[in-house]
């Protein structure tokens, strides 16, 4: 990666500490120096860094520069209840506490979690620890020395959790600026060389042909206008015998069918279709995946997705009827499915 791009990243996140060692922001040289599309990826990354310099992020960037240093800081990837935690032996000053609180507020809504930083508990809209536990229970995750992609990685919760299982590296694809900053609030202290946050979308996985041992695609497919194309791109990005773990909201039903909402589904405007688990299974088979299995299926709970102070003002409980069997638009209430397949 060019020195120009590294300098640009440093200046964005730490404008007053340009010379600080932040090479954890430079995963390309660590994980894919021989990738054929390396130059194109560099161009895309640099072009997208300009988004972070918009005026709406000015205050956040300035506050990032005032975060406590990593001295006397302990990063705990996971605590007993699945909370990703940063603690310090040296108490924060009042000014540091106020700065941290302001950063957390500027990064609202927090959709994935739970997190805790310097005793500031961040309760996200989604209790993502529950989903991660299901992956461990039903998918027999074996990540040691594996190269992994997390499509739509959000603020990186699942990537941080994956480091517990000792992968070679895990690369997140996420084009949302807010999530970039939320991730780096914690990566600033973890500085894990195993994790790379690519400020790119799922469509850019096409630059990683035959590269990944495992692709996690969770909560993404129903947002895609062309889901079969996305699945084919993921298939091409996997090595032979590589695995996809596809987790998605679904509607109940034993037939391979899909709902096409007229406008919104659970108040989400960007749901292009809502499949049954059987339809997702068939889509993986039609894409070329083998050994396709539905590993888990359950109704989405208002305990797992809920309103929180740092999350959203409305959540699942507001988008379902009183009996919670239908959405307020009159569609079947959402379930969750985990489907796996191999290339």
Concatenating the DSSP letter of every residue in 282-324 gives: HHHHHHT-EEEEEEEEEEPPTTTB---TTS-SS-GGGSB-TTS
Average pLDDT, the chain: 88
Angle of CA points 222, 228, 230, to nearest 5°: 75
pLDDT value of residue 61 = 86
| DSSP state, residue 262 | S
Q: Given phi > 0 = left and psi -120 to 50 = alpha, else beta, which region is 11?
A: alpha
pLDDT value of residue 11 = 52
123-161 pLDDT per residue, tens: 999 999 999 999 999 998 999 999 999 999 999 999 999
pLDDT value of residue 304 = 97
If DSSP codes are grouped into helix, strand and coil, which group holds residue 102?
helix
pLDDT value of residue 187 = 87
Tell whether pTM > 0.85. yes
Placement of tokens 């909560």 in the chain: 219
- How many residues in total does the chain contain? 343
pLDDT value of residue 19 = 33
Pairing relationship of beta strands 147-151 and 112-113 according to DSSP bridges: unpaired
Q: Which of 102, 128, 129 is nearest to 117 (CA)?
A: 102
What are residue 249's DSSP bridge partners? Answer: 336
pLDDT value of residue 20 = 34
Q: Which of 335, 336, 233, 250 is nearest to 289 (CA)?
A: 233
Positions in the chain whose pLDDT score sits under 50: 1-6, 14-26, 28-29
């Amino acid at each position: 990666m060019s020195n120009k791009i590294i300098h640009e990243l440093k200046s964005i996140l730490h404008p007053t500490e340009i010379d600080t060692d932040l090479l954890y922001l430079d995963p390309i040289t660590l994980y894919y120096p021989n990738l054929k599309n390396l130059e194109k990826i560099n161009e895309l990354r640099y072009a997208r860094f300009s988004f972070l310099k918009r005026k709406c992020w000015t205050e956040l960037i300035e506050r990032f520069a005032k975060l406590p240093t990593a001295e006397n800081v302990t990063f705990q990837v996971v605590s007993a209840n699945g909370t990703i935690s940063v603690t310090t032996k040296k108490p924060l000053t009042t000014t540091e506490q106020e700065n941290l609180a302001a950063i957390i507020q500027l990064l609202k809504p927090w959709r994935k979690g739970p997190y805790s930083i310097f005793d500031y508990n961040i309760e996200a809209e989604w209790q993502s620890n529950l989903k991660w536990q299901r992956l461990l229970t039903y998918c027999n995750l074996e990540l040691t020395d594996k190269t992994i992609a997390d499509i739509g990685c959000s603020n990186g919760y699942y990537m941080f959790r994956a480091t517990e299982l000792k992968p070679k590296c895990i690369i997140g694809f996420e084009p949302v600026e807010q999530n970039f900053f939320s991730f780096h609030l914690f990566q600033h202290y973890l500085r894990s060389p195993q994790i790379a946050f690519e400020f790119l979308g799922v469509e850019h996985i096409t630059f990683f042909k035959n590269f990944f041992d495992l692709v996690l695609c969770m909560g993404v497919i129903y947002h895609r206008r062309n889901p079969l194309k996305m699945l084919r791109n993921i298939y091409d990005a996997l090595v032979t015998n590589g695995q996809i773990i596809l987790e998605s909201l679904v509607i109940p039903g034993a037939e391979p069918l899909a709902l096409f909402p007229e406008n919104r589904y659970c108040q989400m405007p960007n749901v292009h279709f809502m499949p049954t688990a059987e339809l997702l299974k068939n889509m993986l088979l039609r894409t070329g995946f083998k050994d396709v299995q539905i590993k888990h299926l359950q109704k989405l709970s208002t305990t797992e997705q809920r309103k929180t102070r740092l999350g959203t003002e409305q959540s699942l409980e507001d988008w379902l009827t009183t009996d919670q069997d239908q959405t307020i638009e009159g569609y079947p209430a959402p379930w969750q499915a985990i489907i796996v397949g191999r290339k």
